[in-house]
């Protein structure tokens, strides 16, 4: 056993930890499970710029009472240092995952023991409601316990600031320093301030739903299409708490819930990954949608910040939209509907991430609406909204990972409002006699046929992290001259904050915070992005190709060509 690992194990066996924890460690020792002990203790679970995420279990590299407590103590220390003698107030929510309620109560108890006023939701709630609550109650911050769409073995802890967005500079790095300064579990105040905790629930639900209802652009169209056939699956998650009520508030009265996935369950018994990006996860919903001849299928992940959408294609087959297609449909609808309604403003803006379809940039440009690109993650969208507040009017934003945020009353991706908004979009097009897939093809003809795919390569454990780092360094040290027989004409390195024209040698500064992302732009217009995940042991590769589409008749052939082009790029880069 590595000496450092053994030292940490000894600390936990001899320190102020509960007997259940110590017995779990002893059981691993008795089994001679050196691999699990090493993985559990070889490092401290990193409090990254978004918080914690990891496997649940004993050890310094796992989600448990002690790692959650130390993270909370560090966050509490930073709040007190920053805000001084003012009364500090925060909100706490959690999703459906195993131990989520326990971790949420642990977090609440630590904050409360530090003299901080806590508003704790009575039971599971969607992440976006936590963001809304911070703004609505004018709190200083918040925490939601969730591992989003990760497998059932994971849990996590996302920290928020007073704008309702996740931590950004300087707060993210400063909180990390405070968390890292907690060297012992004995530094954590686990109890003693329970009187500082207030339980919240229905009143906040009602306020949130009322806010979302105000996002509707065409309630009169919904009234005509109130019986739109909607199938919804919460995938065993927290969306069940608000999505059906929100759809009812919008005026939709023909909603079918996927009963097999209706009940909150942290074991996610019907899926491998509780992620609406996965076709397997949405398969039960697709079957139900086909069975009742629905107009639209929607699914939300465990903490209801991601939304997946299924519609019938031009051949009558049920298909899932990818996150880019969903964002294209939603953003184009928002721009079109606001213009048709006469409420578009000269300073309207949309925001997307650097790995999200550049078709959105083109749509915004042709509609004379500003479109901004930010780093991956809605915290950067939230930060830009704050920066532009009072000067430009944010109306909608999106990212390829199935995230949308309509309006600025909260500051994180919101699948609850997205479900209602996408149903309104479907009603709007149906009222005109247009199917959503046909609308998408029309947009391709008008703005160019952009097609994107994503692959993730998983590298688990200590060695996996090293392999991902080596892959990124190799691309930096030896960038390819050609990919799939097309010359690389631009290299964008967001960690160096530098763009480079490969042909001329010209360089320029990228005015975004540092991020470990590389982008290759090819002579044929293709774009490839490489980015290690901040929440999973994966490196992600994003591929985008585009071309001009002249007619609907040519759509199928071009779709096949786009898919082949991306597969050829993947093969050439030896990623499969």
Three-state SS sequence of 13-80: HHCCCCHHHHHHHHHHHHCCCHHHHHHHHCCCCCCECCEEEEEECCCCCCECHHHHHHHHHHHHHHHH
CA dihedral 401, 406, 409, 413 (to 10 degrees): -10
d(CA 66, CA 41): 13
Under 8 Å between Cβ of 71 and 179: yes
Residue 1 in tokens: 């056993």
Give the CA distances from residue 269 to residues 100, 281, 336, 409, in Å, rounded to whole numbers and listed in that order: 17, 11, 41, 34
Host H or E run for residue 370 = strand 370-374
Is the bond leading into 97 cis (omega within 30 degrees of zero)? no
State the residue for tokens 């901004």.
372
State CA 505 to chain mean position distance: 36
- Is the Cβ–Cβ distance between 328 and 440 less than 8 Å? yes
The rounded distance, in Å, linking the Cα atoms of 82 and 326 is 40
Q: Which helix (H) or strand (E) holds 490?
A: strand 486-493
Q: Which of 304, 244, 237 is nearest to 268 (CA)?
A: 237
- Catalytic residue numbers read 148
CA atoms of 163 and 409, how far apart (whole Å): 10
Interaxial angle between packed helices 461-477 and 34-41, expressed in degrees from 0 to 180 and rounded to the nearest 10: 60
**Alpha-carbon dihedral of residues 460, 465, 470, 473, nearest 10 degrees?**
130
As given in the structure block, the two tokens for residue 403 are 């995230």
Tell me how far apart the alpha carbons of residues 28 and 551 are, in angstroms, rounded to a whole number: 63
Chain-centroid distance of CA 91 in Å reads 20
Query: Exposed (0-12), middle (13-18) or buried (19+): which is 464, by Cβ within 10 Å?
Result: middle
CA distance 555 to 498: 37
């Amino acid at each position: 056993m590595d000496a450092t690992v053994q030292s940490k194990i000894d600390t936990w066996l001899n320190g102020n930890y509960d007997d259940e924890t110590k017995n779990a460690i002893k059981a691993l020792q008795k089994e001679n499970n050196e691999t699990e002990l090493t993985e559990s203790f070889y490092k401290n679970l990193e409090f990254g710029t978004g918080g914690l995420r990891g496997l649940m279990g004993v050890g310094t590299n796992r989600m448990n009472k002690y790692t959650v407590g130390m993270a909370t103590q560090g966050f509490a220390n930073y709040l007190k240092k920053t805000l001084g003698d003012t009364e500090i107030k925060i909100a706490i929510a959690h999703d459906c995952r195993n131990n989520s309620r326990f971790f949420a109560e642990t977090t609440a108890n630590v904050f409360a023991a530090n003299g901080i006023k806590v508003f704790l939701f009575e039971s599971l709630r969607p992440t976006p409601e936590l963001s809304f609550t911070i703004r609505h109650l004018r709190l200083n911050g918040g925490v939601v316990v969730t591992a989003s769409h990760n497998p059932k073995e994971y849990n996590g802890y996302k920290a928020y600031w007073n704008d309702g967005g996740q931590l950004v500079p300087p707060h993210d790095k400063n909180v990390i320093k405070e968390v890292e300064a907690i060297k012992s579990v004995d530094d954590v105040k686990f109890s003693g301030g329970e009187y500082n905790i207030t339980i919240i629930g229905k009143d906040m639900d009602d306020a949130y739903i009322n806010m979302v209802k105000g996002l509707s652009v065409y309630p009169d169209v919904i009234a005509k299409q109130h019986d739109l056939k909607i199938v919804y699956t919460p995938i065993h998650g927290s969306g069940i708490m608000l999505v059906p009520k929100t759809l009812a508030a919008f005026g939709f009265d023909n909603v079918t819930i996927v009963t097999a996935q209706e009940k909150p369950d942290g074991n996610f018994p019907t899926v491998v990954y509780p992620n609406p990006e996965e076709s397997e996860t949405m398969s039960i919903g697709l079957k139900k949608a086909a069975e009742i001849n629905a107009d639209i299928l929607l699914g939300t992940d465990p903490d209801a910040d991601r939304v997946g959408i299924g519609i019938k294609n031009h051949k009558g087959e049920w298909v899932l939209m990818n996150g880019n297609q969903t964002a294209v449909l939603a953003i184009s609808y928002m721009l079109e509907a606001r213009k048709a309604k006469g409420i578009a403003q000269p300073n309207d803006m949309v925001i997307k991430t650097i790995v999200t379809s550049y078709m959105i940039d083109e749509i915004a440009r042709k509609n004379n609406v500003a479109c901004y690109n930010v780093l991956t993650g809605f915290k950067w969208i939230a930060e830009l909204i704050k920066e532009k507040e009072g000067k430009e009017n944010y109306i909608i934003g999106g990212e390829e990972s199935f995230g949308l945020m309509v309006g600025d009353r909260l500051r994180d991706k919101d699948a609850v409002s997205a479900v209602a908004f996408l149903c309104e979009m479907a009603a709007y097009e149906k009222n005109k006699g247009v199917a959503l897939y046909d609308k998408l093809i029309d947009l391709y003809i008008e703005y160019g046929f952009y097609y994107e795919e994503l692959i993730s390569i998983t590298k688990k454990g200590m060695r996996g992290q090293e392999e991902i780092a080596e892959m990124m360094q190799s691309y930096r040290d030896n960038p390819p001259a050609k990919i799939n027989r097309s010359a690389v004409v631009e290299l964008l390195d967001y960690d160096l904050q530098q763009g480079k024209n490969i042909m001329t040698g010209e360089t320029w500064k990228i005015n975004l915070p540092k991020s470990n992302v590389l982008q290759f732009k090819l002579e044929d217009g293709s774009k490839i992005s490489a980015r290690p995940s901040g929440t999973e042991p994966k490196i992600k590769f994003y591929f985008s190709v585009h071309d001009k589409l002249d007619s609907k008749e040519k759509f199928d052939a071009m779709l096949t060509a786009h898919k082949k082009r991306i597969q050829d790029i993947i093969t050439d880069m030896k990623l499969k």
